[in-house]
Amino acid sequence: MGTLRGYDKRIMVTGGAGFLGSHLCERLLADGHDVLCVDNYFTGSRHNIAHLLNNTRFEAMRHDVTFPLYVEVDEIYNLACPASPVHYQFDPVQTTKTSVHGAINVLGLAKRLGARILQASTSEVYGDPTVHPQPEEYWGNVNPIGPRACYDEGKRCAETLFFDYHRQHGLPIKVVRIFNTYGPRMHPNDGRVVSNFIMQALKGEPITIYGEGQQTRAFCYVDDLIEGFVRFMGTPEQHTGPLNLGNPGEFTMLELAEKVIRLTGTSSKIVHKPLPQDDPKQRRPDIAKAKSLLGWEPKVPLDDGLERTIAYFRSRFL
């Protein structure tokens, strides 16, 4: 199926009312495309897309991707899946279904339409890595029966399905592995470290660190990530990925907590709790491929991104 009007396309974003999805919808509209946002609002929010509803190029559809979907589009970004431990462990069977059945359904749609399709995979496919930083060639170290497996293994299976559709049916696919991303429209209760720290700081509550706080993460601001999505989708068909997208700047949890305390001006104190099961000790992307292929690397420094995120949380939740 060709593009409908030459330069612009009709693009479907599953999980389009979520944190990343809403920013992607916004970007695609700004680029002149028609956007179909598909979401079941389990973790997504109408508030995230409320400012887009009056745009005649934007359409919102309530739908769960574990059921087939029959629409006409030129491209698909598959972002549907709860992405924080609090949400994906709430109903782990449904989480696996969303990744696996969801992938089967959107891939079937893409095959029927001949549409290019991008899968939002995750750095969680690397598990608790024994290789650092993590290159795309690393196969990972995942506990297949642990409490995080519904997400980790669901996403790994989705990648399998994408590459099998590519090999078996010649489907034009793109697979990105997203490392920790933060910014406005994060869910305040998603249990992820940036939103946790900011909400605790703004409420003057103790800031919770698990273990000694020496485990590391790399934090990418949402605008940088979306830029990587769009650039990768525009590459020639032979570039399928998987492609790491994230910020290679590595910070300990203790460093992040201290930054949030300083930027919010809170009087909150840091408290330590035991480490959760299978919590990775370190996570940092090797982004050499993204730099080489896309000319992409994150631009927004952590302090700047945190300031924007804190401002959003202040205005929205306090």
E runs forming strands in the chain: 10-14, 34-39, 58-62, 75-78, 116-122, 173-178, 181-182, 207-210, 216-218, 220-221, 243-245, 250-252, 270-273
Q: Please, which residues bridge with residue 218 across strands? A: 250
Whether pLDDT at 153 is above 60: yes
51 assigned to some structural domain: yes
Domain that holds residue 126: 10-183+220-248+282-299
**Cβ pair 284, 216 in contact under 8 A:** yes
d(CA 169, CA 166): 6
Of the pLDDT bands very low, low, confident and very high (cuts 50, 70, 90), residue 57 is very high
Write down the residue that tokens 């998987």 correspond to. 242
* pLDDT above 70 as % of the chain: 97
227 assigned to some structural domain: yes
193 assigned to some structural domain: no
pTM for the structure as a whole: 0.94
- Which pLDDT does position 7 carry in this prediction? 62
Phi-psi region for residue 186, left (φ > 0), alpha (ψ -120 to 50) or beta? Answer: beta
215 assigned to some structural domain: no
- Report the run of H or E that residue 293 belongs to, with start and end: helix 288-294
**Cβ pair 298, 247 in contact under 8 A:** yes
Of the pLDDT bands very low, low, confident and very high (cuts 50, 70, 90), residue 278 is low
Closest CA to 64 of 83, 81, 87, 85: 81
Catalytic residue (one of 77, 88, 126, 151): 151
Residue 238, judged by CB atoms within 10 A of its CB (0-12, 13-18, 19+), counts as exposed
- pLDDT (average), residues 66-89: 91
213 assigned to some structural domain: no
266 assigned to some structural domain: no
Higher pLDDT, 212 or 111: 111
Question: pLDDT by residue (tens digit) across 25-55?
Answer: 999 999 999 999 999 999 999 999 999 999 9
Of the pLDDT bands very low, low, confident and very high (cuts 50, 70, 90), residue 2 is very low
d(CA 259, CA 313): 16
* pLDDT above 90 as % of the chain: 86
Domain count across the chain = 1
CATH number at residue 138: 3.40.50.720
Burial track 22-32 (b if 16+ CB lie within 10 A, e otherwise): bbbbbbbbeee
Whether pLDDT at 59 is above 90: yes
Question: Is 151 a known active-site residue?
Answer: yes
Of the pLDDT bands very low, low, confident and very high (cuts 50, 70, 90), residue 3 is very low
d(CA 235, CA 188): 34
Closest CA to 39 of 20, 14, 21: 14
**Cβ pair 194, 182 in contact under 8 A:** yes
Whether pLDDT at 86 is above 90: no
Of the pLDDT bands very low, low, confident and very high (cuts 50, 70, 90), residue 275 is confident
d(CA 179, CA 216): 12
276 assigned to some structural domain: no
- Report the run of H or E that residue 26 belongs to, with start and end: helix 19-30
- pLDDT (average), residues 287-313: 98
Whether pLDDT at 259 is above 80: yes
57 assigned to some structural domain: yes
